[in-house]
Every structure is written in C-alpha cells, then in structure tokens.
C-alpha cells in the first residue's frame, strides 16, 4: 500500500512540477490520451488530451499564456485499487501577455495504474477556491 501511495504521489508531483515550469511535453505526457478535463474557466468539458493540448496552444498564441510557478498544498490521496484520487489546493502564478496573474484553485486529479505499472492522470477537475 505504501509503495502504491508513493508511486501515485510521485506521478502527481511530476505532473505539478512540469506544469509549474510550463513544460508542455512532460505535462501532457502525464495524462492518458483519453483523459477528460473540466475547468471553471471554460464553457465546456475537454473530452481528451488532444482537445486540452489545442486549448493550451490557443491560450499561448491568443493570450500570451505562460505558467511561472505552481504551489500545491492541502493534499489528499485516496486509493481504490487501480484508481487513485488526488486532491489539493493550488496557487498558480501565470502570465497573460506579460502581465502576472495569481489564481487560487482546488483541483482533483484521478490517476489510473496502466498495465505497465505507470500511473497516468485520466481526469482533472479544476474549480475556484472559495
């Protein structure tokens, strides 16, 4: 159980680290191709990783989006066999067209153990912190 917990937390930390460094390649590699995404700042769910990658690219080109840092606190992990639910509070410093923006949000990421033992994110839900 402890090995599983450590593996999932390592996957979560890797995903968060890649996001905080605006490392698109490593960040998106943390998600399965069929992962789904619900973000409070979008008017629709994103039904797969390719849709999120396209949205991210749009944010970069249209809005000058860039992640500067990300801090994860109030972390919780629930294990359910090959599924793990990771939730946390997240403070993100980003920039849009060179202007810094800090957001306070809550996030849930659902991970699934793949046949090769790797834990990939299969769902992400981001909401505003109250």
pLDDT digits (tens, 9 = 90+) for 12-69: 999 999 999 999 999 999 999 999 999 999 999 999 999 999 999 999 999 999 999 9
Total domains present in the chain: 1
User: Containing domain of residue 30, as a range?
Assistant: 2-128
**What's the rounded mean pLDDT across residues 94-112?**
98
- Looking at residue 31, its pLDDT comes to 98
Residue 130 pLDDT greater than 80, yes or no:
no
Handedness of CA 49, 50, 53, 59 (dihedral sign): negative
Q: What does pLDDT average to over the chain?
A: 97
Q: 1 pLDDT band (50/70/90 cuts)?
A: confident
Q: 81 pLDDT band (50/70/90 cuts)?
A: very high
Residue 50's CATH number:
3.10.450.50
Rounded Cα distance between 93 and 103, Å, is 7
């Amino acid at each position: 159980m402890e090995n599983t917990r450590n593996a999932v937390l390592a996957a979560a930390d890797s995903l968060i680290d890649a996001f905080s460094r605006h490392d698109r390649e490593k960040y998106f590699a943390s998600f399965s191709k069929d992962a789904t995404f619900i973000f409070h700042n979008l008017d629709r769910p994103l039904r797969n990783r390719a849709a999120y990658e396209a949205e991210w690219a749009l944010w970069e080109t249209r809005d000058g989006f860039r992640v500067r840092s990300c801090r994860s606190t109030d972390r919780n992990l629930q294990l359910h066999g090959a599924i793990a639910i990771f939730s946390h509070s997240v403070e993100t410093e980003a920039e849009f067209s060179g202007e810094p923006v800090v957001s306070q949000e809550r996030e849930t990421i659902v991970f699934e153990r793949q046949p090769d033992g790797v834990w990939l994110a299969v769902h992400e839900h981001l909401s505003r912190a109250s």
